[in-house]
Structure 1
Amino acid sequence: MRKLIVNSGYNVLSNIFVTFMSSAVVMLMLSLNSALSAEVNSAKPVLVHYMPWYASKPVSGEWGWHWTMGRFDPEKIRSNGQREVASHDYPLIGLYDSNDPDALECHVLQMKMAGINGVIVDWYGISDFRDYGHIHRNTRHLVKFIKQAGLKFAICYEDQTIKHMLENKFISQQDAVARGKDAFKWLDEHWLADDAYVKIQGQPILLVFGPQYYHKANWLQLKAGLSLPPLLFGLPHLTKSAGFDGMFLWPPVSGGKTVTPDEWQKQLRLHYDKSSAEPVLAVAFPGFHDIYEQAGLHKSYGLIEARGGKTLEESLKLAAESDSPLIQIATWNDYGEGTIVEPDTKRGYQSLEMIQNFIKSQDSNVTTATANDLRLPARLYQLKKQYQKQPDELQKLKKAAAFLFASQYDAAREILESYPLKTR
Structure 2
Amino acid sequence: MLKVFRLMLSVLLLAGAASAAPTTSPELGTFYFPGWHPDPFTGNRDTWAVIRPYPEREPRRGWYDDRDPTVLAAQADEMRAAGIGFVVFDWYFEQGAVQANAPLEAYLKLKNAGPAASILWCRHGRSPSTTAAEWRRIVAAWIAYAKSERFYRIDGRPVVMVFDTGRMAREAHEAGSTLASWVREAQAAARIAGMPPFHFVAGVWNGDDPTIAEAARSGFSSITSYNFSRAPGDARPAEGYAARDQIYRRIWAKMADNEAHLPVLLPLTAGWDRRPWGGSETPEVDRSQPTDAEFRTHLAAAHRLMQDKGIRRAILCCWNEYGEGSVIEPTRTGGDARLRAIREVLKRDRD
Fold conserved between structures, TM > 0.5:
yes
Q: Distance in 2 between matches of 1:51 and 1:299?
A: 23
Tell me the amino acid that sits aligned with residue 76 of structure 2.
Answer: V
After TM superposition, give the deviation of residue 295 of structure 1 in Å. 2.1
Name the SS of the counterpart of 2:159 in structure 1: strand
Q: Distance in 2 between matches of 1:291 and 1:177?
A: 36
Tell me the amino acid that sits aligned with residue 139 of structure 1.
Answer: L
Asked if residue 206 in structure 1 is aligned to residue 179 in structure 2, the reply is: no
Superposed, 1:104-123 pairs within 5 Å as: 104-123=72-91
Quote the residue 1:148 is aligned against: 112
Asked if residue 253 in structure 1 is aligned to residue 229 in structure 2, the reply is: yes
Superposed, 1:154-303 pairs within 5 Å as: 154-160=118-124, 164-166=126-128, 176-188=131-143, 190-211=144-165, 213-215=167-169, 216=179, 217-227=181-191, 228-236=196-204, 237=209, 238-242=211-215, 243=218, 244-254=220-230, 256-258=237-239, 260=243, 261-274=245-258, 277-291=261-275, 295=278, 298-300=281-283, 302-303=285-286
Quote the residue 2:14 is aligned against: none
Closer/same/farther in 2, CA of residues 274 and 230 from structure 1, 3 Å limit? same
After TM superposition, give the deviation of residue 224 of structure 1 in Å. 3.4
Quote the residue 2:71 is aligned against: 103
Give the TM-score of the pair, scaled to structure 1. Answer: 0.61
- Which residue of the other structure, out of 338, 345, 367, is the alignment partner of 2:325? 338
Q: Distance in 2 between matches of 1:62 and 1:123?
A: 18
Contact 1:288–1:338 (CA<8 Å) still a contact in 2? yes
Q: Distance in 2 between matches of 1:252 and 1:214?
A: 19
Quote the residue 1:84 is aligned against: 53
Give the TM-score of the pair, scaled to structure 2. Answer: 0.72
C-alpha RMSD of the superposition: 3.3
After TM superposition, give the deviation of residue 208 of structure 1 in Å. 0.6
Contact 1:275–1:324 (CA<8 Å) still a contact in 2? no
Tell me the amino acid that sits aligned with residue 94 of structure 1.
Answer: G
Q: Distance in 2 between matches of 1:184 and 1:45?
A: 26
Q: Deviations over 1:4-32 (max 9, x none)?
A: xxxxxxxxxxxxxxxxxxxxxxxxxxxxx
After TM superposition, give the deviation of residue 62 of structure 1 in Å. 5.6
Name the SS of the counterpart of 1:288 in structure 2: coil
After TM superposition, give the deviation of residue 336 of structure 1 in Å. 1.4
Name the SS of the counterpart of 1:311 in structure 2: helix
Tell me the amino acid that sits aligned with residue 316 of structure 1.
Answer: L
Superposed, 1:293-332 pairs within 5 Å as: 295=278, 298-300=281-283, 302-303=285-286, 305-321=288-304, 322=306, 323-332=310-319
Name the SS of the counterpart of 1:226 in structure 2: helix
Quote the residue 1:372 is aligned against: none
After TM superposition, give the deviation of residue 298 of structure 1 in Å. 4.7
Greater fraction strand: 2
Tell me the amino acid that sits aligned with residue 239 of structure 2.
Answer: T
Contact 2:77–2:113 (CA<8 Å) still a contact in 1? yes
Aligned residues: 295
Closer/same/farther in 2, CA of residues 106 and 355 from structure 1, 3 Å limit? same
Tell me the amino acid that sits aligned with residue 338 of structure 1.
Answer: G
Percent identity, please.
Answer: 19
Superposed, 1:339-358 pairs within 5 Å as: 339-358=326-345
After TM superposition, give the deviation of residue 304 of structure 1 in Å. 7.5
Tell me the amino acid that sits aligned with residue 224 of structure 2.
Answer: F
Tell me the amino acid that sits aligned with residue 98 of structure 1.
Answer: D
Name the SS of the counterpart of 2:345 in structure 1: helix
Instruction: Give the unaligned 5+ runs of structure 2.
Output: 1-19, 170-178, 231-235
Quote the residue 1:53 is aligned against: 35
Closer/same/farther in 2, CA of residues 276 and 309 from structure 1, 3 Å limit? farther
Contact 1:48–1:328 (CA<8 Å) still a contact in 2? yes
Q: Distance in 1 between matches of 2:280 and 2:270?
A: 23
